[in-house]
Structure formats: C-alpha cells, structure tokens
C-alpha cells in the first residue's frame, strides 16, 4: 500500500489533494463525512456511514438495475455513490448482457410461415448492405424487460440521427427465436418492404367536369338586296328573313303564280 501526503484543498473546495512522494502522482480525495470521521478517528461514525450506504443501494439492487438495462453511471448517479462501488457488482451482469446479445444474433426471426432459416445477424447484415450502411459501427446490447424476457437492441447512426431497433429474444434449441418489437426492427428483418413512415400519398381523384356547351355557330350574314326606291331616296336594304322560318313569297307571286326575280 502506497503512502500519500496531503498537499492541500482542491480549488473546488470539496476535495483534498494528495500526492505520492515517490512518483509525484496526485490524487483527489472527497472531503465528505467519512473523511472527516476518519480524520477524527471516529470509528463508530464510520460504521454508521457504511451501513447507511449499504441501505441506499444493496448489491442485489445494483445488479437488478443493471440487468434491466441501466448503465453503471446511471445507477451511481441515482444512488449517490461512486461508480467504482457500482462497477464491482455490475461487472458480472454486464458480461451476462453481452453474452445474451451475442446469442441473440444466432437466433432465427419468426416469419408468418415459421422461423427463418437465416439468423438475425445474417438478416441484419444483409439489410445494412442493401441500404449501403456500415454494419461494422452498429452496437448490440441486451437486457431483461419488465416481463422477464430478454430484449435485444441494435443501435446505429444514419447521418446525424441515432437509430435503434428492438427485438424480443427467446433462447432455445437451434439458437432460439427473435420477434420484432418496433418498426425499425421490422424494417431490418424485411429491408425490401416499404416502411410505414414513407407511405405514398395517393393523389386526390379528379372531379370530372361536364364540358361547356359549345356556342352555336354564328349564322353567316345573308346577302342583303337593295329595294328600288323613288328618286332622291337612298335604296333600303331588304329585311332579313326570320331564322328557322321558311321564307314567305311576295303577294304578287301568289296572284300571278310565278316568283318575281329579285336581285
């Protein structure tokens, strides 16, 4: 055990700076209640503080929270204890999570007609290849859900977006089975399907409008004949016959039985 000497109080006012005289290495020691009790030689108070910390976060609770998906930092911050205390109890559970994530990649996705002959790892690698994405940077993880089943997660980055897919893993013979829990997981299992979020919007049907009635062609202007007028008067145009009615013969034509020749 190396002996350290006290250098002084850290600039944050909450830590003591210590130094290894031989190696000139410096260390920070939290100036908390335990340090003050140790400096006073108060063994009773040190024992009470240790019991209080045990009551705040027992090893079994630490492991249960790590197994449920929390990180070492999250548990330490929540309990108000150093990460080193959480790590020594979390380490075997973290190994268990890593092992389950590895086993899940050898499981077979469940299809409508039964389990796929390919494994989850093979299907996902193919999906990344189809999309032109780097599968090497994707990260696998696993934890136990509220129902006691293992949840397997895959996280990756697309552009500036953080993506994640989740499956339910049931260990068993021949690698076990995998079932998708969200849409990203479904997309990776079937990369050729059209994602729901990209559903094509159908154009609105055009309302057929009845054609406007064509305007009746204008009747060509009839040849207006001039009627002879007495001298000094300008010739008057012959009145037009009414449209859609047969022309009525002049009265002299009726009497003489002949049609007079008019220009």
Mean pLDDT, rounded, for 69-97? 90
Mean pLDDT of the chain: 78
Tell me which residue of 49, 10, 5 sits closest to 31, measured CA to CA.
Answer: 10
Which residue among 128, 161, 193 closes a domain? 193
Which residue among 165, 193, 221 closes a domain? 193
Which residues make Cβ contacts (< 8 Å) with residue 85, sequence separation at least 6? 53, 57, 76
Total tally of structural domains belonging to the chain: 2
The reported pLDDT for the residue numbered 20 is 87
Tell me which residue of 145, 147, 152 sits closest to 180, measured CA to CA.
Answer: 152
Residues 155 and 81 occupy one common structural domain: no
pTM passes above 0.85: no
C-alpha pair distances (Å), 131 with each of 52, 120, 191: 53, 17, 8
What gap in Å lies between CA 163 and CA 154, rounded to an integer? Answer: 8
Residues 125 and 70 occupy one common structural domain: no
β-partners of residue 241 are none
What gap in Å lies between CA 16 and CA 28, rounded to an integer? Answer: 6
Residues 168 and 189 occupy one common structural domain: yes
Q: Is the pLDDT confidence value at 153 over 70?
A: yes
More confident of the two residues 200 and 86: 86
What gap in Å lies between CA 263 and CA 257, rounded to an integer? Answer: 19
Residues 85 and 160 occupy one common structural domain: no
Residue 1 lies in a domain: no
Q: What is the CATH number of the domain that holds 114?
A: 3.10.450
DSSP summary character for residue 11: T
**What digits encode the pLDDT tens for the residues 199-254?**
445 556 555 555 555 555 555 554 644 445 455 555 555 555 555 555 555 545 54
The reported pLDDT for the residue numbered 198 is 43
Q: Is the pLDDT confidence value at 107 over 60?
A: yes
Residues 120 and 169 occupy one common structural domain: yes
What gap in Å lies between CA 69 and CA 57, rounded to an integer? Answer: 17
Question: What share of the chain in percent tops pLDDT 70?
Answer: 69
Residues 120 and 70 occupy one common structural domain: no
Q: Is the pLDDT confidence value at 147 over 80?
A: yes
User: 181 is in which domain, residue-wise?
Assistant: 105-193
Contact present, 156 and 139 (Cβ < 8 Å):
yes
The reported pLDDT for the residue numbered 41 is 79
Question: Which residue matches tokens 């002299």?
Answer: 252
Pairing of strands 108-111, 177-180: parallel
Residue 72 lies in a domain: yes
Q: Is the pLDDT confidence value at 114 over 90?
A: no
The reported pLDDT for the residue numbered 108 is 96
Mean pLDDT, rounded, for 17-44? 81
Which residues make Cβ contacts (< 8 Å) with residue 145, sequence separation at least 6? 68, 151, 168
The reported pLDDT for the residue numbered 78 is 80
Mean pLDDT, rounded, for 146-166? 93
Question: Which residue matches tokens 């990344």?
Answer: 128
Which residue among 168, 193, 218 closes a domain? 193
Residue 250 lies in a domain: no
Q: How many CB atoms lie within 10 A of CB 158?
A: 9
Q: Is the pLDDT confidence value at 67 over 90?
A: yes
The reported pLDDT for the residue numbered 120 is 96
Q: Is the pLDDT confidence value at 49 over 80?
A: no
What gap in Å lies between CA 23 and CA 138, rounded to an integer? Answer: 41
The reported pLDDT for the residue numbered 253 is 55
């Amino acid at each position: 055990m190396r002996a350290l000497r006290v250098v002084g109080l850290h600039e944050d006012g909450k830590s003591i700076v210590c130094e290894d005289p031989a190696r000139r290495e410096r260390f920070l020691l939290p100036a908390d209640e335990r340090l003050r009790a140790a400096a006073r030689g108060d063994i009773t108070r040190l024992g009470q503080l240790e019991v209080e910390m045990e009551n705040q976060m027992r090893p079994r609770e630490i492991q249960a929270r790590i197994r449920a998906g929390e990180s070492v930092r999250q548990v330490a911050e929540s309990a108000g204890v150093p990460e080193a205390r959480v790590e020594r109890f979390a380490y075997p559970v973290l190994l268990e999570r890593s092992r389950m994530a590895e086993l899940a990649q050898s499981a077979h996705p469940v299809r409508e007609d039964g389990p796929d002959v390919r494994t989850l790892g093979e299907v996902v690698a193919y999906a990344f290849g189809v999309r032109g994405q780097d599968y090497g940077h994707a990260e696998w993880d696993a934890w136990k859900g509220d129902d006691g089943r293992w949840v397997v997660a895959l996280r990756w980055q697309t552009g500036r977006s953080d993506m994640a897919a989740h499956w339910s893993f049931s260990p068993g013979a021949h690698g076990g089975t995998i079932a998708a829990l969200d849409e990203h997981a479904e997309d990776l299992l079937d990369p050729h399907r059209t994602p729901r979020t990209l559903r094509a919007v159908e154009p609105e049907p055009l309302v057929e409008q009845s054609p406007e009635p064509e305007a009746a062609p204008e009747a060509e202007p009839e040849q207006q004949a001039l009627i002879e007028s007495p001298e000094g008067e300008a010739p008057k145009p012959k009145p037009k016959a009414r449209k859609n009615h047969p022309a009525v013969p002049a009265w002299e034509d009726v009497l003489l039985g002949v049609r007079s020749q008019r220009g």
